[in-house]
Amino acid sequence: MHKTTPHDRRGFLKAAGASLAVTAGPALAGGELPKKSAAGMSAAEMSELTAVEALAAFERGALTSEAYVHALLARADALHSLNSWITLNAAGALKAARAVDAARARGNKLGPLAGLPLYIKDNIDTQGIRTTAGTPALKDSVPKKNAPVLEPLLRAGAIVLAKANLHELAFGSTSSNTAFGFVKNPYDTTRIPGGSSGGTASGIAARIAPAGLGTDTGASVRHPASFCGLVGLRPSVGNGGAERRYPGEGIVPISRTRDTPGPMARTVADVVLLDAVVTGEPTHPLTSAKLAGLRLGLPHAYFWENLDLEVEAVMNTAVRKLREAGVVFVEADLQGVPELNERVSMPVALYEFYRRDLTAYLKEEGLRLTLDEVIAQVQSPDVKGIFDIAKAMPKAAYDEAIQVHRPKLIALYKDYFAKHAVEGVLFPTCPIAPPPIDPAFTGKVEINGVPQPGGPAALFQVLIRNVDPGSNAGIPGLAQPAGMTAGGLPVGLEIDGPLGSDRRLLAIGLAIEQLLGKPPAPRL
């Protein structure tokens, strides 16, 4: 087995039996991809297929999984400078694709995702393929089994194409990773893709894969979805147990109270499909909601304050179009959200990471590493700076967050939905458009020319501001494109809904997508 990083890629492994091959070299194992597939579809046409479209092409014999995987691997090779992936499963993906094609040719019954390649965030365990969490201490960690969230996707025939780059240990919102390379936004490679699931978002937006999985503690699926013109779902978490929609085991954790995996794709229909497979729900197309008469909360205070003027313009246009389509907006604020969220967010995340959850993961995986040994090898300066705060987080603050403030935050949202008879709250996913990459990790950010407070944490606080409260309340959130800035950067809107309303949110998302349209592909 050979492993490389974005700093050390020279060529695909040609060993047919290898479980792992990684590269950014000029040619794929087994030779160059023909310009046209056997069915006449070009590589460029293949890369534009959504997950639903690719699966339909397989079904009607217009495309083989092997040709599709070849095309996407070639694109990953050509676009390696985006740093969207840490490990390409080239040989393994091609082997799996050939097996699916052979089974299809024999007339075997296949799963609903048979032959579909996916981008999987590299903190989600993959059997036989390393799971690094973007940090040096885990660079050689190869899990013995898949994360439970991945298993149903693989049983349905999906293929792991790549393990996606991320903010180191998922502890940040830029995906600027000193250890494995800074992830770039395909819409403007001088800008961040968001984080921490920035590699997954960048790869899907760049048409290297049609869909994939990220993880979300406070923003990490929806925020990069917003910055890269994608759809991202944070599923219901609640208090865990039966309220948790997706299993959280087998994932390098920050906080198991808050963490959840979530699907990402270029269309709502693709997210619906992945969500159905993970949860075991029917995979037939979900009927979109009727916008006429749909009631949504519009909480101006906090969520709509201090927005970048271009983001505000795009969002105002989206709201106007939704009103014209019959959506009823209830302009009511979520009183007390900022204060409650502050008392929950960092106390829960930092205490659980340092005192409980990462140590538990290391033991579960049989890794002969301690928490402090992992931390000692962290390379990204912004992540290093978190650990002294985490180490000093008092248990009293954590206990109060879990026992007092989080229940109050949950009750606040529940009461809001009931009192105003709304199915969700709508707001800009992020107050700003994707900012430039900051190689010095200053954390500085301006909104409309005004420097924001917070010192080195200023950018982080701005980026997670709107999406963090719903995360801490454990409710589902769906982020999707709202439009583009004048400079061609994606802007996302989000709807957070009541606990357990995930499928309803997706139905609403389908209707919104039909109204607002989808963003153009990035020019790469």
Q: Residue range 281-306: average pLDDT?
A: 95
- The residues that are catalytic are 121, 196, 220
**Distances from the Cα of 122 to the Cα of 129, 232, 338, 379, 390, angstroms:** 10, 17, 31, 17, 23
Amino acid at residue number 288: S
d(CA 48, CA 364): 39
437 DSSP 8-state letter: P
Tell me if 479 sits within 8 A of 415, measured CB to CB.
no
What pLDDT score does 415 carry? 98
pLDDT tens string 349-373? 999 999 999 999 999 999 999 999 9
pLDDT tens string 125-153? 999 999 999 999 999 999 999 999 999 99
What are the domain boundaries of the chain?
Answer: 81-91+107-516
* CATH code assigned to 81-91+107-516: 3.90.1300.10
Portion of the chain with pLDDT greater than 70, in percent: 93
The position carrying tokens 């403007």 is 188
What pLDDT score does 285 carry? 81
pLDDT tens string 102-117? 999 999 999 999 999 9
d(CA 501, CA 32): 46
Q: Residue range 90-103: average pLDDT?
A: 98
Q: Residue range 444-465: average pLDDT?
A: 97
Provide the pairing of β-strand 490-496 with 477-484.
Answer: antiparallel
Helix 502-516 × helix 268-279 angle, to 10°: 160
Q: Residue range 362-386: average pLDDT?
A: 96
Report residue 283's pLDDT band, with 50, 70 and 90 as the boundaries.
Answer: confident
401 DSSP 8-state letter: I
